[in-house]
A and B are shown apart, each in its own frame.
Chain A
Amino acid sequence: MTTVRMPSPPPLPLRQRAQIPSAGLSPMLDRLAGERATGVLMREGGMLYLSEGQVVYAESPATPGLDALLITRGTLDADGWREAVAQAGARQRVGRFLVDSGRIGEGALELCHLGALYDAAYFVLGPSSAPVHFRYGEAHWLGPVHPVPVAALERETVRRRELLHGIWPDPATDEAPLVRAARPAKLTVTPRQSAVLDRIDGVRTAADISRALGRPAFHTLVDVRRLAAAGVIAPSGVGGGRPSAEPAGGGTSPAPTEPTLPHADPHITLLKRLRDALEAL
């Protein structure tokens, strides 16, 4: 019998478990809804526009805006969008103008708008300790399309956090550059997931992929967590993955989100996945 001398494996890195705060996402937002305020709420993750206490628009640097979603999908061309903003932006009626001029159906605009609003709000209402500001009276140039009650928005945001947590409890892939696993598990992916997988190059983050695909950023997080749970992808610098392509434009290598292991031990990768899966139970 041959014995193989193995160096003792490095200790498993400790990781903060994802916390899901459930109630009171933003006490200030609740108060503004109560007083039926109009204006813009500025948080670290982005902005929420309120009209009489209801949310009419949300924007976040983490997500593609309504214009990007409509243009990338081919629902609207960039010239049509620019013209609408030029014609109706100053009087805050861009949405109305797009529908009245026949560029988009009312239902289609509403659905895309709601998709973009809930998507951006998820990031705006993300955990943050930075100061929050509200500027009274400011209206958004899109104009009213489909106002959403604050309570409904908060409920959906919490539901989305729980959905992500249920798929895979480790949030490391949400913001880090992503790499394909060195020895990926065999997996059948849906066409939507495969579009995400095709754009993973060791540099792009989930937000970059959303912009490239013209999809809501939360949707990409769902696909990314599913792929991470299946062991197909990992955040850069963790779990022994390596970039499948050279970074375009010679970008510097991104900072890892967890302390990098001295060597990529497949046993450790397996143990980590097992631990995460057990935690998710």
Chain B
Amino acid sequence: MANTETALKEALASIEGATGVALVDYTSGMALGTMGGSKSFDLTVAAAGNTDVVRAKLRTMEHLGLKGQIEDILITLNDQYHLIRLLTGRGGNGLFLYLVLDSKRANLAMARHQLKKIEEDLEV
């Protein structure tokens, strides 16, 4: 059991290569919690912007008639990975975790696995 701040701190500390993490409500675009980031990388701006990514994907899936649920969305830049994980718990419906990774140091499979564990810790 963890509160939001502890869970986000844990994500930043335990996930290799993580430089920022945010917990975001994708309807309002509000970051309910952020950890890390920098002056040149504003996590609240990233949070609000990435709600459009999630919404576009959800709409596309409706267009295609896909019934599956999105687990995560991966965006790779030449030097970063951005990982979006949609929370599925009853209380977490409508939220996603947003993780920024340094691609030189990160292990993607491991990061995905750990992000899932953070979600379980939040118990949402």
In the assembled complex, the Cα of A219 lies from the Cα of B55 at a distance in Å of: 13
For window 33-70 of B, CB contacts with A under 8 Å fall at 48, 55, 58-59, 62-63
Q: Tell whether A222 pairs with B4 under 8 Å between CB atoms, given A111-B92, A111-B122, A188-B59.
A: no
Residues of A within 8 A of B48 (CB): 159
Q: Mark A179-199, 1 if CB is under 8 A from B, else 0.
A: 000000000111110000000
Residues of B within 8 A of A163 (CB): 28-29
Residues of B within 8 A of A114 (CB): 32
Residues of A within 8 A of B95 (CB): 111
A110 at the binding interface (Cβ < 8 Å): yes
Closest residue of chain B to A145, judged by CB? B3
Q: Tell whether A108 pairs with B124 under 8 Å between CB atoms, given A114-B32, A222-B28.
A: yes
Q: Mark B3-34, 1 if CB is under 8 A from A, else 0.
A: 11001000000000000000101011110100
Taking a contact as CB atoms under 8 Å apart, the answer to whether B28 and A218 are in contact is yes
Residues of B within 8 A of A216 (CB): 27-28
Residues of B within 8 A of A159 (CB): 29-30, 48
B110 at the binding interface (Cβ < 8 Å): no
Residues of A within 8 A of B55 (CB): 190
In the assembled complex, the Cα of A105 lies from the Cα of B119 at a distance in Å of: 12
Residues of A within 8 A of B23 (CB): 111
Taking a contact as CB atoms under 8 Å apart, the answer to whether A111 and B62 are in contact is no
Closest residue of chain A to B3, judged by CB? A106
B71 at the binding interface (Cβ < 8 Å): no
How distant is B62 from chain A, measured CB to nearest CB, in Å? 5
In the assembled complex, the Cα of A105 lies from the Cα of B89 at a distance in Å of: 12
**CB contact between A107 and one of B27, B58, B90, B123 (< 8 Å): that residue:** B123
Residues of A within 8 A of B30 (CB): 118, 156, 159-160
Closest residue of chain A to B93, judged by CB? A73
Taking a contact as CB atoms under 8 Å apart, the answer to whether A189 and B89 are in contact is no
Q: Tell whether A107 pairs with B59 under 8 Å between CB atoms, given A74-B90, A163-B28.
A: no
Residues of B within 8 A of A188 (CB): 59, 62-63
B121 at the binding interface (Cβ < 8 Å): yes
Taking a contact as CB atoms under 8 Å apart, the answer to whether A105 and B1 are in contact is yes
Residues of B within 8 A of A111 (CB): 4, 23, 32, 91-92, 95, 122, 124
Query: Can you list 24 A-B pairs, Cβ within 8 angstroms, ordered by A?
Result: A70-B91, A75-B91, A104-B91, A105-B1, A106-B2, A107-B4, A107-B7, A107-B123, A108-B89, A108-B91, A110-B3, A111-B32, A111-B124, A115-B25, A115-B32, A118-B30, A146-B3, A146-B4, A159-B48, A188-B59, A188-B62, A188-B63, A190-B59, A219-B27
